[in-house]
Amino acid sequence: MSTYALTDSWTMTRRELAHWARQPGRLVVGLVFPVMLLLMFGYLVGGGRGVSGDYLHYLVPGMLALTMAFGLEGTMLAVTQDLNKGVIDRFRSMPMADGAVLVGRAAADMLQSVLGLAVLIGVSGALGWRAQGGAGAFLGAVGLLLLLRFAMLWIGIHLALVAGRPEMVQAVQILVWPVGFLSNAFATPASMPAWLGTVVDWNPMSRTASAVRDLFGPAGQSDHVWAAVAWPLVLLAVFFPLAVRRFARMSR
């Protein structure tokens, strides 16, 4: 990406960050919702099926991975609203790099994701959970989580552009729930029917959750890392160019 495109993308990122100051409620809700899920599954619903040992040490990495699929509707709504309110037309009249609006929105979303991870890890620590694999393994686990978020984000942006209208975003967002809950975030695939366990095991979110669990564990290493890297990269290779290409066509 050229310096010109980076400058435009940073300008759009600052625009999205300014929205946080004007609408802090949306940011707070996005940070609190994963914490509510963690408490609900950890203490109200109870232990997961097929999980041995302390359930919290199984649940927390799964929740961190699941959180990477939540909150996409904020970015999806922002993209569709900009298109429908003519904001993109105004940007188009300026000497701006193609895709800078999308990249800026994605960058702001990633900053919020970092903040969300920090809050959820902090609450998990207060509940007694600890990462045991060392600093390198911890950073590697966080990197895998953010890579998954980045891939999910561009899927969401593409689906938002396909939906075209803000009122359609909620319908598209519903797709996140089966993807998120058909994972090993809360229970092991071995405890499920064979066909369902196979589906869960192939879920990219399950690959990330498994790798993160291992990296947070005493060994600090995992055989699932390659799959946790490969899946998001494949999704990015498909949906990033699709989103940028569709956005370029819609904004002409």
pLDDT in the model for residue 87: 65
Look up the pTM and report it: 0.82
Query: What residue type is 76 in one-letter code?
Result: M
208, with CB counted inside 10 A (0-12, 13-18, 19+), is buried
pLDDT in the model for residue 4: 47
- What is the number of residues in the chain? 252
pLDDT in the model for residue 216: 94
Q: Which residues of the chain have pLDDT under 70?
A: 1-12, 14-31, 33, 36-37, 39-50, 52, 86-99, 167, 170-173, 250-252
pLDDT in the model for residue 139: 95
- Contacts of residue 8, Cβ cutoff 8 Å, sequence gap at least 6: 96, 97, 100, 104
115, with CB counted inside 10 A (0-12, 13-18, 19+), is middle
pLDDT in the model for residue 236: 95
pLDDT in the model for residue 117: 93
- What Rg, from alpha-carbon coordinates, does the chain have? 19
- Cα separation, 246 vs 38, in Å, equals 36
- Rounded to 5 degrees, what angle do the CA atoms 187, 180, 233 make? 110
Helices 135-163, 166-173: inter-axial angle, 10-degree rounding: 130
List, for residues 136-168, the tens digit of each pLDDT value. Answer: 999 999 999 999 999 999 988 888 888 777 767
- Cα separation, 198 vs 217, in Å, equals 24
